[in-house]
Structure 1
Amino acid sequence: MCQKGFVCYDPTLHRTRISRNVIFFENQHFFPVSSSTVSSSSTVVLPSFEQQFSDLHPLSSRFQPGIVYTRCSRPQSLLVAHPIFDPTMLQIQSVAVPPAPSVRRSSRVSVPPNRYGFPSSSSGNSISALTAALSNFNIPTCYSYAAKHDCWRQAMQEGIAALEANYTWDIEPCPPTIIPLGCKWVYSIKVRSDGSLDRYKARLVALGNNQEYGVNYEETFAPVAKMTTVRTILALAASSDWPLHQMDVKNAFLHEDLKECIYMKPPPRLFLSPTSHVCKLRCSLYGLKQAPRAWFDKFCTTLLQFSFKQSKYDTSLFLWKSNMGIVVLLVYVHDIVITGSDSALLG
Structure 2
Amino acid sequence: MSAYKKPIIDGHLHVYTNKCVEYFFEYKEKYGFDAICVACLCNLDTSMENDATQNILAAIMKCIDPKGVYALGGLVYPEFPVTKAPEGTYDFEAQARELIEMGFDGIKMLENKPTTRKMTALSTCDPMLDGFYKYLEEEQIAVISHVADPETFWDHDLAPEFSHVEGWFYGDGTFLTKEEIYEEVRQTLVKYPNLKITFPHFFFLSDYLDEAKKLFDKYPNLKLDITPGREMYDNFTRHHEKAKEIFSEYSGRIILGTDMTSTHFQGEPGDMIDTITRFLSTEDEFSYWDFDIKGIGLSEEKCKQICHDNFLSNLSSTPKLIDKKMLKAYIDRFLPLVKNKETAEFIAEFYKTL
| Higher helix proportion | 2
Q: TM class, shorter-chain normalised? A: under 0.3
- The answer to which structure, 1 or 2, has the higher relative contact order (CA under 8 A, 6+ apart) is 2
Query: TM-score if structure 2 supplies the norm length?
Result: 0.20
* TM-score, normalised via structure 1 length: 0.20
**Which has the greater radius of gyration?**
1
